[in-house]
């Protein structure tokens, strides 16, 4: 009986995870996770041009933790200008990514939980829209579609079918056209370089 109980406990212990704000102590574990899941190719993505030298949007760097507190998933969102509207005014929005879950924990709903937590937080913080580059087969379930981003372009090579957007406020991206530009807070080291 004890053995059965132990295996039941082990099953549920594995299934439990929490979603949390990322803190400074998570950075090394997050980078190691991204290296394992995505490899060096992640630094060559067009999204990286927007992320490089910037901090994520306030309150929008989340991690998933196992019961021991270890980082097993990550998602971050970044402030951008998504082109300009019909009057020529910059359209503020967010770029999501990378989203990654430790291979040992895939398929347990962690990616979905990170996505839903990040989108709820972004909506609560008053953001109007989120863009990303990713597989529509995965992201459509969260409401991301290519048509909302049809007049926008990434600042580098990208696949049009994988360039997706979600409006958190209806009509936010109506008429938005142009190139995505980073608009987030700069990393301190980059501020020093610019000074
Ligand atoms: C994509 C990723 C974040 C999903 O995390 P996860 O915790 O396994 O996701 P969930 O448990 O919430 O959802 C799993 C479901 O998504 C599906 N799925 C995962 N990746 C998918 C993809 N690229 N296309 C379509 N479906 C996908 C799984 O087949 C599974 O489907 P099911 O529920 O019908 O069985 C994770 O697989 C990962 O880190 N992949 C490598 C990095 C990556 O590709 N990031 C996204 C950039 S496109």
Kindly give the distance from the C-alpha atom of residue 92 to the centroid of ligand 1, in angstroms, as a whole number. 28
* Any domain includes 4: no
- Residue that has been written with the tokens 């990713």 in this structure: 134
Confidence of residue 4 (pLDDT cuts 50, 70, 90): very low
Assess if residue 6 is contained within a domain: no
Helix (H) or strand (E) holding 96: strand 90-101
Partners of 18 in beta bridges: 65
Choosing from 73, 111, 164 the residue with most ligand 1 atoms within 8 A of its CB, the one to mutate for a pocket test is 111
- Its domain, for residue 32, covers 13-194
Atom 42 of ligand 1 has which residue's CA nearest to it? Answer: 100
The binding-site residues of ligand 1, defined as CB within 6 angstroms of any ligand atom, are: 37-38, 99-101, 106-112, 134-135, 137-138
Which residue, judged by its Cα, is nearest atom 40 of ligand 1? 100
Is residue 139 left, alpha or beta, with left meaning phi > 0 and alpha meaning psi from -120 to 50? alpha
Burial class of residue 162, CB neighbours in 10 A (0-12, 13-18, 19+): middle
Three-class SS state of 182: strand
Strands 177-182 and 152-153, sheet pairing: parallel
Closest CA to 130 of 141, 120, 144: 144
**125, two tokens:** 């913080």
Percent of the chain at pLDDT > 90 equals 87
- Residue 1's pLDDT is 45
Residues 96-120: tens digit of each pLDDT:
999 999 999 999 999 999 999 999 9
pLDDT of residue 188: 82
- Taking the CA atoms of residue 190, residue 149, residue 113 and residue 51 in that order, the dihedral angle to the nearest 10 degrees is -10
25-55 confidence digits (pLDDT tens): 999 999 999 999 999 999 999 999 999 999 9
The answer to whether residue 48 sits within a structural domain is: yes
Computed over every residue of the chain, the mean pLDDT equals 92
Q: What is the CATH number of the domain that holds 34?
A: 3.40.630.30
105 Cα: distance to centroid of ligand 1 (angstroms)? 11
Query: Residue 5 pLDDT more than 70?
Result: no
d(CA 4, ligand 1 centre) in Å: 31
Residue 174 maps to a domain: yes
144: helix, coil or strand?
coil
- Tell me whether residue 7 is in a domain: no
pLDDT in tens, 141-182: 999 999 999 999 999 999 999 999 999 999 999 999 999 999
How many A from CA of 170 to the centre of ligand 1?
Answer: 27
Ligand 1 closest atom vs CA 102: 39
Per the structure, how many domains does the chain have? 1
Q: How far apart are CA 108 and CA 73, in angstroms?
A: 11
Judge contact between 113 and 17, C-beta under 8 A.
yes
The answer to whether position 5 is within a domain reads no
Nearest CA to ligand 1 atom 27: 138
Residue 15 predicted with pLDDT over 60:
no
pTM summary value: 0.91
Query: Is 146 contained in some domain?
Result: yes
Is residue 95 within 8 A of residue 78, CB to CB? The reply is: yes
65, pLDDT greater than 60: yes
Residue 2, domain member (yes or no):
no
Asked whether the beta carbons of 48 and 42 are under 8 A apart, the reply is yes
Q: Which two tokens stand for residue 91?
A: 């359209």
pLDDT number for residue 2: 52
Per-residue pLDDT for 195 more than 90?
Answer: no
What is the 143 CA–ligand 1 centroid distance (Å)? Answer: 15
Between 14-23, 58-67, 71-80, 145-154, the lowest mean confidence (pLDDT) is in 14-23
Ligand 1, pocket-test mutation among 64, 101, 115, 134, most atoms within 8 A of CB: 101
């Amino acid at each position: 009986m004890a053995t059965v109980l132990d295996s039941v406990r082990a099953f549920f212990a594995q299934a439990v995870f929490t979603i949390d704000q990322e803190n400074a102590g998570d950075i090394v574990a997050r980078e190691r996770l991204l290296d394992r899941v995505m490899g060096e190719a992640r630094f060559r993505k067009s999204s990286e041009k927007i992320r490089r030298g910037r901090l994520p949007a306030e309150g929008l760097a989340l991690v998933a933790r196992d019961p021991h507190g270890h980082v097993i998933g990550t998602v971050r969102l970044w402030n951008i200008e998504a082109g300009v509207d019909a009057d020529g005014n910059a359209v503020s929005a967010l770029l999501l990514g990378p989203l990654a879950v430790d291979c040992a924990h895939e398929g347990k709903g962690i990616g979905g939980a990170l996505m839903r937590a990040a989108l709820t937080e972004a909506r609560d913080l008053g953001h109007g829209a989120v863009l990303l580059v990713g597989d529509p087969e995965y992201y459509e379930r969260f409401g991301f579609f290519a048509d909302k981003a049809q007049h926008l372009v990434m600042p580098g090579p990208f696949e049009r079918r994988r360039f997706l957007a979600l409006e958190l406020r209806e009509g936010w991206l109506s008429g938005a056209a142009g190139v995505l530009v980073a608009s987030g807070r700069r990393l301190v080291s980059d501020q020093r370089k610019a000074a």
